[in-house]
Amino acid sequence: MSVIAYILFAVTALVLAVWIVHQLFLYDKHSKTEPNPLFGLIDKALPYLLLACFIQLIFLIRQGINFDFNYILVPATLFFLLVYVLDKTVYHDRKTHGKGHERPLIASAYDFLPVLAVVLIIRSFLLEPFNIPSSSMVPSLYTGDYVAVNKFAYGLRLPITNTEFWDIGDPERGDVAVFRYPEDPSLHYIKRVIGLPGDTVSHVDGALYINGEPVPSEQVAFTADTAMVEQMYQPDASRNMNAEMAVFQGQAEEGVARYERQTIGEHQFLRRHLASEPDHQQYAKFLQANVGYQDNWQVTVPADSYFVLGDNTDRSGDSRFWGMVPDANLSGKAFYVWMHKKPGLHLPTFAYNRKID
């Protein structure tokens, strides 16, 4: 984040704090008719500062910064709830002066609290949208897909802390789960659940096994959507990859991809392999073994943990590389693609809406 962004956020926070102190402790009946010049200036500048911060935040998110909207939503909801309670018990602005004649902060609490509370409840306990930033779940999910996530499928959890307070259900084999990345909980990952607590997951001679039983699998002919293939990878200056090279990489990989239809639990989906040769190898640090198509490995899932894989086998960083997903890191179950937007300045489309199996 740039120095200018830090200065903008710091100045806005300071101005906002001064405005709140004035509204709660220094505001009187003359504040509207005879405003203090300093507070008058703050009243005029604050909306523009907040707008500038919002634009800067959107820019930073587009640049790839990790940001959880709940870090704004939860404090804002609690703050307006506090202001609402203070008016009901201490200030009595609305009761005394009537609706529309309260001090601005109290009027804002009455206006925004119901909206923020509804959004917070929906996002935290019912439904939350997530964007797919990578190709690790191709062909089930493509870069630019927006998925709807069932937030209560794996238990109700407090926002921000993710602490479970009501155990409603647990992941099932084959679910596409959203969770906090174990090595960096500020990141959300999405993968398919393969192994449940106590399961033994193994890979022998190109076949996946769960508790000694082979996962039903058959090779199928599949033609991926050209537009989806061309945007699987994005320009990346750190890798000297421009737009044309990104498109070429997606097309080149699709040219050697092969697909298998697998059935795990009640889910049937396509698994993608990129290697044109069956002895293609990758070394997985967690398993301490090669995880190529013909390589053999085995792992037992500990209690309160899950083993997950990406459907795009050779382009997925998953449990083979960094380990298990603790139950405490689960966020919800992805069940529907409700929108797709090509990265960059492009309009969204609903042509690719579909159920996630």
Active-site option among 124, 134, 136, 305:
136
Active-site option among 124, 134, 135, 191:
191
Active site residue 191: yes
pLDDT confidence of residue 266: 93
For helices 70-86 and 104-121, angle between their N-to-C axes, nearest 10 degrees: 130
Taking the C-alpha atoms of residue 319 and residue 287, their distance in angstroms, rounded to an integer, is: 9
pLDDT confidence of residue 1: 67
Q: Which helix (H) or strand (E) holds 107?
A: helix 104-121
pLDDT in tens, the chain (357 residues): 678 888 999 999 999 999 999 898 887 755 555 567 877 788 889 999 999 999 998 888 776 677 788 889 999 999 999 999 999 999 999 998 888 888 899 999 999 999 999 999 999 999 999 999 889 999 999 999 999 999 999 999 999 889 999 999 999 999 999 999 999 998 999 999 999 999 999 999 889 999 999 999 999 999 999 989 988 888 877 778 888 888 998 998 898 899 999 999 999 999 999 865 454 567 888 998 888 888 899 999 999 999 999 999 989 999 999 999 999 999 999 999 999 998 777 899 999 999 999
**Global confidence as pTM:** 0.86
According to CATH, the topology of domain 132-355 is: Umud Fragment, subunit A (2.10.109)
pLDDT confidence of residue 300: 97
Q: What does the angle CA 260 – CA 255 – CA 345 come to, to the nearest 5 degrees?
A: 100
List CB contacts of 210: < 8 A, sequence separation 6 or more: 173, 194, 195, 199, 200, 201, 264
pLDDT confidence of residue 345: 76
Strand arrangement, sheet containing 217-220: 217-220, 258-264, 267-273
Active site residue 99: no
Taking the C-alpha atoms of residue 95 and residue 150, their distance in angstroms, rounded to an integer, is: 41
Query: For the chain, what are the domain ranges?
Result: 3-127, 132-355
pLDDT confidence of residue 67: 76
Strands, DSSP E only, in 32-162? 127-131, 145-150, 156-157
The Cβ of residue 26 has, within 10 Å, a number of other Cβ atoms equal to: 11
